[in-house]
Structure 1
Amino acid sequence: MSAAESAHLGRALCIITGASRGFGRAVALDLSRLLLPGSVLVLAARSGADLRAVEAELAGRAGLSVRSVEADVGQSEGLDGVMSACKEASSADIDHLILINNAASLGDVSRFTTGFTSLPEVDSYMSLNVSSPLCLTAGVLRAVPRRAGLRRTVVNVSSLCALRPFRSWVLYCTGKAARDMTFRVLAEEEPDVRVLSYSPGPLDTDMQREARSHTADPDIRKSFSDMFSEGQLLSCQASCAKLLKLLLEDAFTSGDHVDVYDV
């Protein structure tokens, strides 16, 4: 389906994790404008106050139902809460399932690889950043199975760090690389599901501020500081527009990693 043929994404059930701030918030607000009446947005994040603020911004969208789930999707209870909301919202009336796996964390970038000796610490990071999107995606696809007339799209919010090593970013790079491979395998196994790993680029977010302040490697830290001082960071809205263009045109190869600068 090309953008010329359709300026909307259908009557959709759309699940977005990490939806309360930054890129996830931008996706929730802008994607909602492309949904037909009868669509449902399930927004998940750890911050209930921020979630309610996003829900309030969406309140005027006619025919759109919004369900907020305050949950840590890195924990079983959080995943269960999102899945419950998804099952309650699913119906035969939707013609498009959209899952945006956006929730992620930077991890501790103040140490190099040899500084990570605690198995529970690393396991906790991987639970949120790798295990959670895998389990949520599997659960959602099982809850909304293939049927005639239903499109299913899964987006993994990725990073250049999935492809290139950044010194002192071992947790983040490892997590993003593992996520990309997870969704490449999914694309091979489920040919009817449209799978995209989208790298939104260097965004002007809290994560970028953390990177500028805490990155142990001086060259990497300086590169982020220079990008900020030289105005090279992207707004979440600008990057989100590129993602929505990809979803509307629906011309990407399923399983591919697409960078914001490729669009």
Structure 2
Amino acid sequence: MLQFFTRIPIKLRLSADAEDFGKGLVFAPLVGIVIGTILGAFSFGLLYLLSKPLVAAIVLITYILITGGLHLDGLGDTFDGLFSNRSKERILEIMRDSRVGTNAVLAIVSVLLINYAALCQINSTYFLRVVMLMPMAGRIGSLISSAVSTYARREEGLGKSFIDFCGKKELIGGLIIYIVISLLTFDYKMWIVLAVSPISAFLLIKVLSKKIDGATGDILGAVCEINQSIFLLIACSVLV
């Protein structure tokens, strides 16, 4: 999962099939916390040298470098397709097109602006914890979306293995990991913020998958990124 979802250089040759990818989503929260720990460690040093707005910008750029913009790409493709006002078949074609449209650019820029503004507003007491937990809150969205969805395409696609082989067992296991990590914050305000993420993920996948009667890999990425932004917005409201 770390090899697939991040650019972290793990030099191991692993033999994995489609089923392994789907079942491996149980570890999505752990992948999130690994990314968050790197971002948190980076931020800890930078906060002594730079202002919080500058650190927030660097955090987001580092996040993109670590993930390779994988889920942001899915976000862009999703918005290009869903906001094209075309038929289901044409929407799926647009989502698969490697070219970037206006809706994709607007969606990615909007999400990054929200994330930046929210990080700038986070109470300094909570800043490092929010940065560390933000990727986990996003990736619980990918897990939940895969577990409660059906695959929208007739042909094979990147998201098929995740959606077809991530079931109730993986969902329950991933949620247990998510809850345990959340409880380790030992802060009831953080618990409130983190409790919203699984709910918002479930609602997001229902909305985004309605138009094409299912989900794709791009939609899983979109849920991850939007869920991350919702986590930051809730954090701004609660962590005061």
TM-score, normalised on structure 1? 0.28
Return the structure number with greater relative CO, CA threshold 8 A, min gap 6.
Answer: 2
* Higher fraction of strand: 1
